[in-house]
Amino acid sequence: MKFDAIVVGSGMSGGWAAKELAERGLKTLVIERGRHLEHGADYTDSASPWELDNYGMVSENEIDAEYPVQSQCYAFSTATKHLWVKDSDHPYTTPADRPFMWIRGYHLGGRSIMWARQSYRMSEMDFAANKADGHAIDWPIRYADMAPWYDHVETFAGISGENDGLDQLPDGKFLPPMALTPPEIEFGRKIEAKYPTRKLITGRCAHLTAPTKVHEDLGRTACQYRSLCERGCSYGAYFSSLSATLPAAMRTGNVTVVTDAIAHSVIHDPKTGRATGVRVIDAKTKQGRTYEGRMVYLCASTLGTAQVMLNSVSEAFPNGIANRSDQVGRNLTDHLSGLGASGTYPGYEDIYHHGRRPNGFYIPRYRNVTEPADGYVRGFGFQGRIIRDGWQRGMGAPGVGAALKSELRKPGPWRASLGGFGEMLPRPDNRITLSSTAKDKWGIPIPHIDVSLGANDLAMIAQVGEDARAMLEVAGCTDIRVSKHYGGVGLGIHEMGSARMGHDPKTSVVNKYNQAHDVPNLFVTDGACMTSSGCQNPSLTYMAMSARAAHHGAEFLKENKI
What kind and span of H or E run contains 340? strand 336-345
- Quick one: CA dihedral 359, 360, 366, 369, positive or negative? positive
**For 401, phi and psi rounded to 5 degrees?**
70, -150
Rounded Cα–Cα distance for residues 157 and 225 (Å): 18
Beta-carbon contacts of 411 under 8 Å, excluding residues fewer than 6 positions away, are 352, 388, 389, 390
Rounded Cα–Cα distance for residues 411 and 346 (Å): 14
Rounded Cα–Cα distance for residues 303 and 479 (Å): 40
Q: Where are the domains of the chain?
A: 1-159+241-334+432-444+493-562, 161-203+336-422+453-488
- What does pTM read for this prediction? 0.97
pLDDT at 286: 98
pLDDT at 321: 98
**DSSP H helices in 275-388:** 302-311
CA atoms within 13 A on the CB side of 294: 17
Regions of the chain where pLDDT drops below 50:
none
pLDDT at 326: 98
CATH classification number, 1-159+241-334+432-444+493-562, choose in 3.30.470.10, 3.20.20.370, 3.50.50.60, 3.30.565.10: 3.50.50.60
* Residue pair 153/433 in contact by the 8 Å Cβ criterion: no
Beta-carbon contacts of 437 under 8 Å, excluding residues fewer than 6 positions away, are none
Q: How far is CA 522 from the centre of its chain?
A: 22
* Residue pair 448/434 in contact by the 8 Å Cβ criterion: yes
pLDDT at 395: 74
Q: How many other CB atoms sit within 10 Å of the CB of residue 256?
A: 15
Q: Are strands 522-524 and 288-298 parallel, antiparallel or unpaired?
A: parallel
Rounded Cα–Cα distance for residues 100 and 330 (Å): 15
Which residues partner with 107 through β-bridges?
35
What does the pLDDT look like over 8-37, one tens digit per residue? 999 999 999 999 999 999 999 999 999 999
| Position 488, amino acid | G
Query: Distances in Å between the alpha carbon of 35 and those of 233, 258, 285, 307, 371?
Result: 18, 9, 13, 20, 48
Closest CA to 371 of 514, 110, 168, 203: 168
What does the pLDDT look like over 344-363, one tens digit per residue? 999 999 998 888 999 999 99
Which residues partner with 418 through β-bridges?
341, 384
